[in-house]
Amino acid sequence: MKINGYTKITGIFGDPIGHTLSPAMHNAAFNALGLNAVYVPFHVKSNLPGELKAAVESIRALGLLGVNVTIPHKEKVLKYLDEIEPHAMDLGAVNTIVNKDGKLIGYNTDGAGYLLSLRDETGFKAGRKRAVIIGAGGAARSIVYSILAAKPVSVVIANRTLRRAEALARSFARKFDSTDIIAAPLDKDSLFEHFVKADLVVNTTSTGMMGKGELDLPLGALPARAVVSDIVYRPLRTGLIKNAEKLGLKTHGGLGMLVRQGAIGFELWTGKKAPVKVMEAAALKALRIR
């Protein structure tokens, strides 16, 4: 990689940021396409007042192509942007900022990236299907929104704190009134009736990350056609994925979502089609090194 006076800069804002795989996959993509650009991590501390605002203003001041935004800045960053595309506005969260001739525009590519990965890796399409989502946090919100946009028959949101699941269901009820949106407790017995009819189960929580913890779900109740998906990618095969495989169910891991949401951002910044396979290989290599 050669850096000179014409090199364009992209990156990621987060706190912490040392764990991110994004530099590996984006720099591999720039290299593959012969683009004079670089992607770097920026540690934007959440405990320093004014730091996020200053960081966002630097995108314009320094002429960056744009940045990704990760925890804990996805919601707070909205007020510092010039424009927010409707999908991100509905979610109340931005994970990608594009600098368009000095105008900072916020996007959210998480849900779209998830569905692209799910389709490409398993062939699953959410239209007229029944989905069960485990969790009610930011990742769940993005994924639920994108699944609902595909017009499924029903979406069940199961969470340990039921009121959070209920709040998430209510927030989408009016916009997606043709789909049954159901809140449920994260309880094996309560979930049984939903699993019996489910086409897709998605874990959007951090349970299973680094091999810690395991969800107690009635996987045996799922129909043979069902897909079990886990957005956790450390490890690549979580306990949930392994248990589903033992039952002969089709599975979907979390690395593809990371790659696909990044690929959408790459295309927004560069106007070029992202080399998805190159990005995936680079992310996988970086993950294995760590």
Looking at residue 178, what DSSP letter applies? T
Residue 104 CB contacts under 8 Å (≥ 6 apart), including other chains: 56, 59, 60, 80, 81, 82, 83, 97, 98
**Cα first-last separation, the chain:** 22
| Residue 74: active-site member | yes
Distance CA 163, CA 289 (A): 40
Q: Which two tokens stand for residue 70?
A: 């990760």
> How crowded is residue 56: how many other Cβ atoms within 10 Å of its Cβ?
23
> How crowded is residue 7: how many other Cβ atoms within 10 Å of its Cβ?
13
Given 8, 53, 74, 151, which residue is catalytic?
74
Helix (H, G, I), strand (E, B) or coil at 18: coil
Q: Which two tokens stand for residue 29?
A: 């993509």
> How far, in whole angstroms, is CA 134 from its chain's centroid?
14
Catalytic positions are: 74
